[in-house]
Amino acid sequence: MFKPLVVALAAVAAFAAPLTHAQDKYPSKPVKIIVPYAPGGPNDIVARLLASKLSEIEKQSFIVENKPGGGSNIGADFVAKAPADGYTLLIAATSHAINMSLFPKDQLKYDLLKDLAPVSMIMTGPLVLVTRPDFPANNLKELVAAAKAKPGELSFASSGNGSSTHLGGEMLNSAAGIKTIHVPYKGSGPGLTDVMGGQTTYMVDTMISATPFVTGGKLKALAVTGKKRSPVLPNVPTVAEQGYPNFEAVAFIGMMAPAATPGPIVDKINGDLQKILAMPEIKDKLAAQGFTAEWMKPADFGAYLAKEVPKWGAIVKSANVKVD
């Protein structure tokens, strides 16, 4: 009577053994890291730093492949539909949390929280509010006062409609109770150029894009959007310090995998990232761009994402942001 049970158990063991063996040998072939943005940006730079170190640790090639387009959705959807074997990974960012609310459901072919598995946070960084040096406001209080004195006349630039720089500006409008005009650009560069030229009043931009112009004297920084001051601009107070204690708008970059990727593989990559993000050289390279290396366990990164999606979604809804 026990023979069928023995046969069944043997069959399960036979099936599980190759899977377990494959996980033990992971990675046994090159691993793709998909960057859903064009080459040269911060996401791409970070991916290449990680790929180099992962290749050293695992003695296997980790290859960066750029798949830009669709507001970063094309690359994310590609990874969501890839085999869940650990050989296709995603560099995820703030835009992916925003996109869950920004894009109509019929245009999104994946769900960030259901179709992708969190591997780890990689880094976080605040945005910085900048304006031209001769603009009368020298702090956030004075900027808010200027905006309230002339409702709907001041303008803020962004790197694109629905971007973190756009929603960071909308968050500030909401927190301060001001009304300013949003002017979207195709990237941070053109937006910053027009702020310097006086065509737009200010911009809430990434540290990596804006800081060189601040240190070069072509822009002045009025506030950073993190909970703490940035070591890159230590003399610039936070928005919270200047009268809005609950304000925080932080950009993040993390790593994800297809949802059904085996736990042991996710844990192995997570462990490698923990080692890499603790390396002084990596910390220094990220800090130079205004970011803080930040490792998380998969479950903790998943919990972070579960909060980010509705947080940005509330701003998308309240500001009535529509995708181009």
User: Could you list the pLDDT tens digit for every one of the 324 residues in the chain?
Assistant: 445 544 445 444 554 444 445 556 999 999 999 999 988 888 998 999 999 999 999 999 999 999 999 989 999 999 999 999 999 999 999 999 999 999 998 889 999 999 999 999 999 999 999 999 999 999 999 999 999 999 999 999 998 889 999 999 999 999 999 999 999 998 889 999 999 999 999 999 999 889 999 999 999 999 999 999 998 999 999 999 999 999 999 999 999 999 999 999 999 999 999 999 999 999 998 988 789 999 999 999 999 999 999 999 999 999 999 886
Q: Do domains 3-124+252-318 and 126-242 have the same CATH topology?
A: yes
Closest CA to 88 of 266, 263, 252: 266
Q: Record the tokens describing residue 64, joined without a space.
A: 């960066």
Q: Record the tokens describing residue 290, joined without a space.
A: 């205004």
Report cis status (omega within 30 of 0) of the bond before 27: yes
Q: What is the pTM (predicted TM-score) of this model?
A: 0.85
Q: Does residue 34 contact residue 79 with C-beta atoms inside 8 Å?
A: yes
Q: Domain spanning 126-242 has what CATH number? A: 3.40.190.10
DSSP 215-257: HTTSSEEEEE-SSS--TTSTTSPBTGGGT-TT---EEEEEEEE
Sequence ranges of the domains in the chain: 3-124+252-318, 126-242
Alpha carbon separation from 142 to 146, 191, 238 (Å, rounded): 6, 22, 14
Would you give the distance in Å from CA 210 to the centre of its chain? Answer: 17
Q: What is the C-alpha radius of gyration for the chain, rounded to an integer number of angstroms?
A: 22
* Annotation: CATH topology of 3-124+252-318: D-Maltodextrin-Binding Protein; domain 2 (3.40.190)
Q: Can you tell me which residue has the tokens 């290859």?
A: 63
